[in-house]
Chain A
Amino acid sequence: GQNIDQPTEMTATEGAIVQINCTYQTSGFNGLFWYQQHAGEAPTFLSYNVLDGLEEKGRFSSFLSRSKGYSYLLLKELQMKDSASYLCAVKGPDAGNMLTFGGGTRLMVKP
C-alpha cells in the first residue's frame, strides 16, 4: 500500500519562497508527481521526479530523495495566484500508470 503525508495548510507572503514537503511510505515506487489545484478546478500538472535530485521549472522546483521517501516542492517569488492546493502523488510499481495522492497542502499567499 501507499501512505503519503503532506502538511494540511501553509501561509506565505507575496514575493517570498515556500517549501511544501511530502513524505511517502510505499510498497514500490515509480515516480512522484506534483499537481496544483485551484479551488473548484481540476488538478494541473507541475512536475515529475523519478530520479534523486532537483528538477527546476521556472519559479517552481521539485526535489526527490528516494532513500528517504521524501520530496518537496519549492515555489519562489510567490504571487497571489499561487494560492491553491498542492497535491503530491506517487506512482506505484503496478502495471498501470496509477497514482496515489496525498491529502494536499492548501497554500495561502498573503500580500
Chain B
Amino acid sequence: EAGVAQSPRYKIIEKRQSVAFWCNPISGHATLYWYQQILGQGPKLLIQFQNNGVVDDSQLPKDRFSAERLKGVDSTLKIQPAKLEDSAVYLCASSPRLAGSGSEQFFGPGTRLTVL
C-alpha cells in the first residue's frame, strides 16, 4: 500500500513570496490533515478535511494560509505571502475512518520550507 505522498520535499523562498504544497493521501482515506512542525516542537494542526469539507481550521492563519481538497482526494496548502516565521516542516496526514474514531493517522514525509 502506497503511503502519503507530498511534494516538494524542500522549498526555499524569500519572504513575501508565495508557495504551495501538495499532498496525496493513502487511497480511500476520508480524512486529511495538514500540520506545521517548527524545529524542536511537536506538530501543530492547521486544518482537517473530511472528504472535501473542512472539519476544523481554527488554527489556520487565514490571512495568509489557504487549503483546499476539491475532489476529496488530493489537497494543496498555500502560503501567500510567506513570513520568516513560516519556516517549518509541513506534514500531511490521512486516516482511514470517519472523524471521531480512534484511528491512527499516517504521515507523509513532509515539505521542509525555509523562508529567507
Contacts and interface: CB of A to CB of B under 8 A. Distances in A.
A43 B107 contact: yes
B16 interface: no
Interface string A12-44: 000000000000000000110100000001111
Contacts of B100: 95-97
- Chain A interface main SS type: loop
A89 B104 contact: no
For chain A, give the interface size range. 20 to 34
Given A89-B42, A102-B42, A96 B56 contact: yes
Interface of B: 4, 31, 33, 40-45, 48, 50, 55-56, 91, 95, 97, 99-110
Residue of A87, A89, A97, A101 contacting most chain B CB atoms (<10 Å): A97
Interface of A: 4, 30-31, 33, 41-45, 48, 50, 87, 89, 91, 94-104
24 contacts: A4-B42, A41-B109, A42-B4, A42-B109, A42-B110, A43-B91, A48-B104, A87-B42, A95-B55, A96-B55, A96-B56, A96-B99, A97-B95, A97-B99, A97-B105, A98-B33, A98-B45, A98-B55, A98-B99, A101-B43, A101-B44, A103-B41, A103-B42, A104-B40
A45 B101 CA distance: 16
A95 B48 CA distance: 11
- 4 smallest beta-carbon distances between A and B, as pairs: A101-B42, A42-B107, A96-B99, A96-B55
Contacts of A30: 102
B88 to A, nearest CB: 13
B14 to A, nearest CB: 24
Contacts of B45: 98-100
